[in-house]
A = this chain, B = another copy of it.
């Protein structure tokens, strides 16, 4: 993780649940061998599996002192509060970790390394603070350059935040690689960056340069890949984050979209005030995303990824069948039942392009 194999204590104080601890869950799902403990005093004594359904026997502990028993070398902040600020109680925990000589990985919008006390502590103890959300200095301006590459570029889009855009991209990417496809994954958020050791935290970039930075990432990934799958962010219908989503969409310039949705969600979940807006129908959301993409490049929604986390197996199967019938699209829950159908759809698309290219 970020250049080396680590022994990580994941901070998720008071929030170690599948919905609240997004970064923690991503890291536990995709780098479990590096996680030695999770900090949440409310759930101390339980296991990860018990709290969030993944992570097996990784222990949940009450605090740094108990975590130290598992010999971590890194504290990872596993929660990303809306707004991204650092609660003072967390600041003390970070200082304590640095005092113990641990590195700190943070995805917050506020940069820990800019805090004089924390920076001085890190220096004195010879450890490193990684502010994963620090934006690149690049002032790239997008110009539809991705349309000139040969790779098939695919973007995950969503009906809302926190529905499974990163997970879907990672699962489909892994499946494609296992089938021998030269697939590349492009991370666009702090969790994806921690998991894949590349990418950029696009929501922290000055707005003018978001599309340009994404374009650069995709062009780099496309150099050695026949398929590039880009982690989506936000939703074009989300009043707070739609701009991030559209910049990502027009910078990545995809040829195909995968729509991600949490089954059963009827309203925008991550909403700051007042009554949350109702989600439109899947068909309307598909149409709107295709329209928005087409302003720069035509990109149909090829498949649907349904997050059925909150359902039992029977409900999940029914929800998937319903969505498939409603949209006419291959539909899977990539985590629960595997991403095969999406991977197959993308390979079909890849073969079509190869045939077209060889006929020309």
Q: Which of A85, A207, A210, A211 has the most CB of B within 10 A?
A: A207
Determine if B206 and A141 form an interchain contact, defined as CB atoms under 8 angstroms apart: no
Inter-subunit contact B212/A207 (CB<8 Å): no
Does the CB pair A239–B204 fall under 8 Å?
A: no
Q: How far is the CA of A135 from the CA of B260 in the complex (A)?
A: 33
Q: How far is the CA of A142 from the CA of B245 in the complex (A)?
A: 15
Q: What per-residue 1/0 map shows which CB atoms of A54-66 lie under 8 Å from chain B?
A: 0000000000000
Q: Check if A132 is an interface residue, CB within 8 A of chain B.
A: no
Choose among B135, B206, B236, B273 the residue that contacts A295 (Cβ–Cβ < 8 A): B236
Q: Which of B139, B144, B277 contacts A109 (CB 8 A)?
A: B139
- Say yes or no for A152: interface residue by CB 8 A criterion: no
Nearest B residue to A235 via CB reads: B295
Minimum distance in angstroms from A19 CB to a CB of chain B:
18
Contact B211 A203 (CB under 8 A): no
Say how far A149's CB is from chain B's closest CB, in angstroms: 12
Residue A296 is within 8 A (CB to CB) of chain B in the complex:
yes
A129 interfacial by beta-carbon distance below 8 Å: no
Taking a contact as CB atoms closer than 8 A, the residue among B247, B253, B272 that contacts A207 in the complex is B247
How many A residues face the partner with a CB closer than 8 A? 49
Within 8 A of B (CB), among A142-158: 142-145, 148
Bound: A207/B247 CA distance, A: 9
Q: Which residue of B lies closest to A110 (CB)?
A: B139
Residue A288 interfacial (CB < 8 Å): yes
When distances are taken between beta carbons in the complex, the residues of chain B under 8 Å from A206 are 109, 135, 203-207
**Residues in A230-267 with C-beta less than 8 Å from chain B:** 236-248, 250-251, 253
Quick check: B242 and A247 within 8 Å, CB to CB?
A: yes
Contact of A84 among B139, B240, B272 (CB under 8 A): B139
A239 x B144 contact (CB < 8 A):
yes
Chain A, 76-115, CB within 8 A of any chain B CB: 82-85, 109
Contact partners of A143 in chain B: CB under 8 A: 239-240, 271-274
**Contacts A143-B274, A210-B243, A212-B240 known; 11 new A-B pairs at CB < 8 A:** A83-B141, A135-B206, A143-B240, A145-B273, A203-B206, A204-B206, A206-B206, A207-B207, A208-B240, A243-B246, A291-B291
